[in-house]
Structure 1
């Protein structure tokens, strides 16, 4: 993909991902905001992964604006649509932690996955309710976190608590989240660990390394210590719930390691807590090193 094409795609994705919730969420505002809905969507996706194969299941369950990093943001429908048919890869995954907006139109799930019965890593998926009331994902991709010791399939799912406040409109929420992202980026450019600790929710999860996902504040600090001490973040897109209480964002990341410039992407979930917008989930996904 040419740089100009990539820039146009990112701009289009940003516009497409921020706006739709206002259009489709209103008819479902009265529905119960039960996080079991996104868990059911994830499990249906996983079941189709075995029944239909990777390509067809990912095409079936991804939203028209859904993206993957390949390694740059690309529409999932285009990426999987161009993939060869068939294949015998056995991809199995299951949710262990999930959350949903109070308006019941935006949620997320995460858990371990295996490839051909070999434990591999953890996935992370962002889900959005569609105009017909069903769910499709907006983003799918996770870090190489160690799945050792993860609860097995059909284990109870832990749910993130609901937001304490709501901005009342997705546009207003995204404006507030944009300010939070800018503040985090300014701090992370000098002291990444300190910047994160200042905005993390008390039940936050931070992943990105090959270690198991942190289960405590102390383990989160250990996870943050695996990252570069300073990272430059640039937002690319995202979307807020119609209630303005939950938002997901993604963007580009750049840093230097051993004198070499590295790059990648971040994906986040922001929740509107009593103290303001707090970072509920964050993953840093390095891109493969560029060939010289």
Structure 2
């Protein structure tokens, strides 16, 4: 009887993680996965948590992009990291989404910042695709929690790889146009590409939310930005896309710095693609 009881407890603990990872196309299911991920890390450590929620293609920026499994195979374990999602979106096709929110690292010295994670649905479960973060001082501003559900559910039945490639080509062209415009007009060019609710994560700053604040931020600090795109991914539902790569930023203070960036685009009613999230994480040469 005791052995059966112990078996039941172990089985429950093994299946709970899989249940918490379950993807049903809703933003709520993604938030559940993110919250369980954070809870698992606090109980079992980073190695087990990232192993549970990653696959062979998961990239973590530490600070440069590296396979999560490779990184955590040699990295010391920790339970000092905690975080909470405050903003999340999921494509109407349910194949990927993203979450972001504040984190606290209670290591040798307490530090603070914002994390940003892109998730993908694999065999009915949420799996990390990308994970990165930026640091800032202890936060002074409370950010409104927004978990926005897809307005509809739409999964193309006959989408093939050639059509997917054409779709990502549209996003690559959009980002190439953005980069060309940045070269010609400087950072003021972002005004034509960001959504009214755009969210920017930049080292040393709490989240910058809203187009007016975003443009003011760019204009106050930067003179030029040059983008080199590494990867483009477009949701099968045709409503969201993300890119990542390297951004060279020229500050007005006559200084250049390199960042890894992750941009999230949303398709608008006029068929244009606007930025709804922009993350700049420090790059290491």
Name the TM-score class by shorter chain: 0.7 to 0.9
Q: Which of 263, 277, 284 lines up with 1:281 in the alignment?
A: 277
Matched, 1:81 2:73: yes
Residues 49-73 of structure 1, C-alpha deviations (whole Å, 9 max, x = no match): 1011122212221232111223332
Query: Residues 105 and 238 from structure 1, CA distance in 2 versus in 1: closer, same or farther, beyond 3 angstroms?
Result: same
CA–CA separation in structure 2 for the residues paired with 1:49 and 1:200: 34
Gaps of 5+ in 1: 1-27
From 122, 126, 132, the counterpart of 2:114: 122
Residue 90 of structure 2 is aligned with which of 96, 100, 109? 100
1:112 pairs with 87, 102, 107, which one? 102
Does the aligned pair in 2 maintain the 1:100–1:162 contact within 8 Å? no
Residue of structure 2 in register with 1:271 after alignment: 266
The DSSP-based 3-state class of the residue aligned with 1:204 is: strand
Question: Using the alignment, how far apart are the partners of 1:234 and 1:197 within structure 2?
Answer: 20
Aligned with 1:65: secondary structure?
Answer: coil
Q: Equivalences for 1:171-182 in 2 at 5 Å?
A: 171-182=165-176
Counterparts of 2:187 and 2:254, CA distance in 1: 20
SS at match of 1:229: strand
1:188 touches 1:196 (CA, 8 Å); kept in 2? Answer: yes
The correspondence for 2:131, drawn from 137, 140, 159, is 140
Contact map agreement 1:207 1:223 (CA 8 A) in 2: no
Alignment correspondent of 1:184: 178
Q: Structure 1 length as normaliser, TM-score?
A: 0.77
Contact 1:145 1:207 in 2 (8 A): no
Q: Structure 1 residues 283, 226: closer, same or farther in 2, change over 3 A? A: farther
Contact 1:255 1:261 in 2 (8 A): yes
Residue of 29, 32, 36 corresponding to 1:37? 29
Aligned length: 254
C-alpha change, 1:63 and 1:179, in structure 2 (3 Å) is same
**What secondary structure, in the 3-state scheme, does the structure 1 residue paired with 2:142 have?**
coil
After alignment, is 93-102 or 62-71 more displaced?
62-71
For residue 70 of structure 1, the aligned residue among 62, 65, 80 is 62
Contact 2:198 2:276 in 1 (8 A): yes
Partner secondary structure for residue 242 of structure 1: coil
Give the greater-gyration-radius structure (CA).
2
Q: Is the 8 A contact 2:27 2:147 kept in 1?
A: no
Residue in 1 that maps onto 2:247: 253
The higher-RCO structure (CA 8 Å, 6+ apart) is 1
1:215-263 deviation line (CA, Å, top 9, x unaligned):
3333212322354211211110132212222111101112445555432
Post-superposition shift, 1:119?
5.5
**Displacement, 1:74?**
1.6
Structure 2: tracts of 5 or more residues without a match: 1-21
CA distance in 2, matches of 1:267, 1:48: 26
Is residue 40–residue 49 contact of structure 2 (8 Å, CA) maintained in 1? yes
Partner of 2:142: 150
Q: Whole-Å Cα distance in 1 between the matches of residues 149 and 221 of structure 2? A: 25
Please list, as runs of the form range in 1=range in 2, the aligned pairs for 1:217-256 lying within 5 A after superposition.
Answer: 217-225=211-219, 227-256=221-250
| Structure-2 separation of matches of 1:209 and 1:71 | 12
SS at match of 1:71: coil
Counterpart check, 1:52 vs 2:47: no
**Residues 1:201 and 2:192 aligned together:** no
The CA distance in 2 between the partners of 1:251 and 1:268, in whole Å, is 9
Q: State the alpha-carbon separation in 2 of the partners of residues 270 and 36 from structure 1.
A: 21
Structure 2 CA distance for partners of 1:207 and 1:223, relative to 1, 3 Å: farther
